[in-house]
Structure 1
Amino acid sequence: MLDVKRLRVLREVALCGSFSAAADALSYTQSAISQQIAALEREAGTTLVERSARGVRLTEAGEALVRHTEAILARLADAEDELEAIAGLRGGRLRLAAFPTAAATVMPRAIARFREKHPAVELSMEPREPDDALAALKAGEVDIGAVILSDTDQPEVEGMTLTHLLDDPMYAMLPIGHPHASKSRLRLEDLAAEKWMLGSTGKCPDTQILLRACLSAGFDAQIAFHSDDYLAIQGLVASGLGVALIPDLALVAVRDDVVVRALTGSTPVRRIFAATLKEGYCSPATEAMLEILTEVCADFGQGRRELALAS
């Protein structure tokens, strides 16, 4: 078996025309170059370099081996590039999963910033509710999943590493003609007698947050309609069919026939995290996206605070 490092030395000798010049180019000693060539000749079973007072000259066998060496080194470089692309930021792919309100707000900003910095990485994003995103992570279908925990949950999910992105406060949404619509802030208990719009399943984090908040305020929420679509919920509220809690991320587009009011006291909060497999391989692309997501969400939160102060 021919040694690739020694083949590289032979090629450098052929390019430079002498052992001393090859030694300088490779940061070797001249003695080391001579030893490498001698070892390669033993492996090849023939003389590769003829030495004379005027320098060195490759034999016919040496010239043939150098020609093959060029191809071998080129293929090795291609292999190294491909491996780097798979594991790094010069190629490969990164698969994201996000629930609708994150997919409409912070995720597009993060994707745009990531593509600007790392255009060779192929990005994709699937719409997934938090439980589905965790299942997709466990199945190896995605690399990062945006998930929601309620404000009282411990930031732990079995088998997952969680990176905190954002605390997403929830607001009361009322029809524009509601008796409390003129108030700048509301207590949740002010809405105890109202009908509520709610997510479609008990597993929905937003549903759990609403029910828990109402219980803490001293009442059981009376559910009028179920929907996981916040645009649909806005329509139901606007039609006077009830009220709702709306997270900040869902307020990118608000109808003009509803009002949104902050809540006094303990504001219900959705805690948003980026989840990755705890025991999985975290590629450089994944690490870069986690960093960008953290930056984007910090900017988003700061903008929200500035808007609140301005109002």
Structure 2
Amino acid sequence: MEQRTAFSRSMQIVRECGNLRDWEMGRQAMTRNYSNWFVRARLKTRQLQLLAAMEEEGNVRRAADMLGMTQPAASRLLKELEDMLEVSLFDRTPHGMRATLYGEVMIRHARMVLSNLSHAHDEISALRAGLAGQVRIGVIAAAAATMVPRAISRVKERYPQLQIWAEVETSDVMLPRLAEGDLDIMIGRVLERQNQFKADVSYEPLADEPLCVVARPGHPLEYETGLTLRGIVNASWVLHPPGSVLRHRFDLMFSHIGLNPPQNVVNTNNFLAISSLLLQSDMLAVLPEEVARQYQQYGVLKRIPIDLPYRMDTFGIITRQSHLLSPAACVVLDALREAAGEVYGTAFEPVVAR
């Protein structure tokens, strides 16, 4: 269905160019691209499911059990796919079946296709039930505390039956899920170590994130003056885990002045756990300013008076380039852009549903 939509949209664009001959050539080319490979391949949904199961299980028999088929049937499906592609998708190792480079490509695209089919089923079911559709968004903490609630509340006022799934996670976790189609829209970052996704996504920058130190109300350092990083390096901390962007920036602040990062640390990115630990101890935490402001507004946490020299990189709205958003997702995207303009002063063109 998505390919047919892309095909129709491409023909519409060529028509708008006003050149009938070019349009006809474009139509024929699109028809060839649409039909040739898929007609010859005769890909089966079962083969795509098998690829995904093989990656999870690493074994033909267990993958077959997961799909409710016999091992010979699974092996036959896999061989048919490899014969058609003329490449080997898996290598046998002492620890099971491991995907080759070709296999990794097919698994990634198989997951995207299966996800799209699942979303299509969800949208059709929602429409049949009289609902407005479903939208899945992934959000970093700072945006979840500011623009996202504003956007969602406006969408729900206009479309009360539109179902929105909002997950708060780190960018490194969300970006692969966006690429595989598990998320419609993401608000976060494309990290340097995830450059393989850059060509597949559209990125609209919003703002960077200043950082601050927080603690419980009544903490001994709440009204301390002249605090420096050297003065708090030996404090007890609750921090995002190593490998996260926030933790990387936190550690850099200390290494930049010749200090080892704090060693007395509890690692978690769960904000409920962070706030609970802070409230029951004299531990410190570092959070984006917007998140800290929300906690302070309700009297849960207090900012500690120290200026931090590092900020988080700019985050933005991220979508898949090759994916046409559903009408429901377009509504949410427009609301997110509007809220971002109010919170961060960013200007956008309105998105048009297709």
Give TM class, smaller chain.
0.5 to 0.7
In the alignment, the residues of structure 1 paired with residue 323 and residue 193 of structure 2 have an alpha-carbon distance, to the nearest angstrom, of 22
Please show how residues 109-148 of structure 1 align to structure 2 within 5 Å.
Answer: 109-117=150-158, 122-148=163-189
What is the CA-CA distance between 1:198 and the residue it aligns to?
1.2
TM-score by length of 2: 0.49
What is the CA-CA distance between 1:264 and the residue it aligns to?
2.9
| 8 Å Cα contact 2:222/2:305 also seen in 1 | no
Q: RMSD value over aligned CA atoms?
A: 3.8
SS at structure 2 position matched to 1:222 = coil
1:194 corresponds, among 203, 226, 235, to 235
* Structure with higher RCO (Cα < 8 A, 6+ apart): 1
Runs of 5+ unmatched residues, structure 1: 1-81, 303-311
Which residue number corresponds to residue 253 of structure 1? Answer: 295
Please say if 1:161 is aligned against 2:217. no
C-alpha spacing 1:233/1:91, structure 2 compared with 1 (3 Å): closer
| 8 Å Cα contact 1:173/1:259 also seen in 2 | yes
Matched letter for residue 260 of structure 1: R
C-alpha spacing 1:278/1:188, structure 2 compared with 1 (3 Å): farther
Which residue number corresponds to residue 19 of structure 1? Answer: none
In the alignment, the residues of structure 2 paired with residue 283 and residue 262 of structure 1 have an alpha-carbon distance, to the nearest angstrom, of 46
In the alignment, the residues of structure 2 paired with residue 231 and residue 283 of structure 1 have an alpha-carbon distance, to the nearest angstrom, of 33
Please show how residues 145-224 of structure 1 align to structure 2 within 5 Å.
Answer: 145-148=186-189, 158=198, 159-176=200-217, 180-183=221-224, 186-199=227-240, 201-223=241-263, 224=265
Please show how residues 1-311 of structure 1 align to structure 2 within 5 Å.
Answer: 91-99=132-140, 102-117=143-158, 122-148=163-189, 158=198, 159-176=200-217, 180-183=221-224, 186-199=227-240, 201-223=241-263, 224-251=265-292, 252-254=294-296, 258-261=301-304, 263-264=306-307, 266-269=309-312, 271-283=314-326, 285-301=328-344
In the alignment, the residues of structure 2 paired with residue 185 and residue 155 of structure 1 have an alpha-carbon distance, to the nearest angstrom, of 39
In the alignment, the residues of structure 2 paired with residue 97 and residue 274 of structure 1 have an alpha-carbon distance, to the nearest angstrom, of 10
In the alignment, the residues of structure 2 paired with residue 177 and residue 121 of structure 1 have an alpha-carbon distance, to the nearest angstrom, of 43
TM-score by length of 1: 0.55
Give identity over the alignment, percent.
Answer: 21
What is the CA-CA distance between 1:177 and the residue it aligns to?
5.4
More helix by share: 2
More strand by share: 1
Matched letter for residue 182 of structure 1: Y
For these two proteins, the number of residue pairs brought into alignment is 214
Matched letter for residue 111 of structure 1: I
Runs of 5+ unmatched residues, structure 2: 1-122, 346-354
Larger radius of gyration: 1
In the alignment, the residues of structure 1 paired with residue 184 and residue 255 of structure 2 have an alpha-carbon distance, to the nearest angstrom, of 36
Matched letter for residue 300 of structure 1: V
What is the CA-CA distance between 1:170 and the residue it aligns to?
1.4
C-alpha spacing 1:273/1:184, structure 2 compared with 1 (3 Å): farther
| 8 Å Cα contact 1:97/1:127 also seen in 2 | yes
C-alpha spacing 1:279/1:240, structure 2 compared with 1 (3 Å): same
What is the CA-CA distance between 1:265 and the residue it aligns to?
6.0
